[in-house]
Structure 1
Amino acid sequence: MKTIIVTIFIIFLSFTAQAQNNAADVKVETIEMSIVTETTFEVNESTATEVARLYKFKNSRIKRDLNFLTKANKSKMA
């Protein structure tokens, strides 16, 4: 019963989709543009300099602070 109702519903939808009036095709006006052969390059001279720090040594202060250990991290003897 359910399959018959679903089949009739699909057929009904297909007929209603075909019965729709399509709007007339709308023509689009095209604009003809020429090709640009000359290009200009702009150089931006920025005076802002960014500083990046590189820590060479294993025991630098930043790395030591980031790799801290707490008392809870220590292993316990059973």
Structure 2
Amino acid sequence: MKAIVTLIFVLFIGFAAQAQENTAEVKVETAAKEIVTETAEENKVARLYRFKNSRIKKELSFKTKKSASKLA
């Protein structure tokens, strides 16, 4: 009985979804913009680290509680 009611409910929802009116597609107007290729050069300072990629290695070497070993 439960299976029959479920099947009727699913079919009812399917028919109701197909009975909806389709709306016409709305066209969107595009706006053209120019690309600026000139950039203003500024004095940039590069930071020097003692070891290459030290900040990246520090961020990737984190440990979580689950990664800690447990004694059995």
- Describe the SS at the equivalent of 1:38: coil
CA distance in 1, matches of 2:11, 2:25: 28
Quote the residue 2:40 is aligned against. Answer: 40
Using structure 2 for the length normalisation, give the TM-score: 0.53
Number of equivalent positions: 44
Letter in 2 for 1:25: E
CA distance in 1, matches of 2:18, 2:42: 57
Letter in 2 for 1:4: I
Query: Unaligned 5+ residue runs, structure 2?
Result: 44-72
Quote the residue 1:21 is aligned against. Answer: 21
User: What fraction of aligned residue pairs are identical, expressed as a percent?
Assistant: 56
1:42-75 C-alpha deviation (Å, 9 max, x unpaired): 67xxxxxxxxxxxxxxxxxxxxxxxxxxxxxxxx
CA distance in 1, matches of 2:28, 2:9: 38
What is the aligned-residue RMSD (CA, Å)?
A: 1.8
CA distance in 2, matches of 1:42, 1:16: 63
Query: Unaligned 5+ residue runs, structure 1?
Result: 44-78
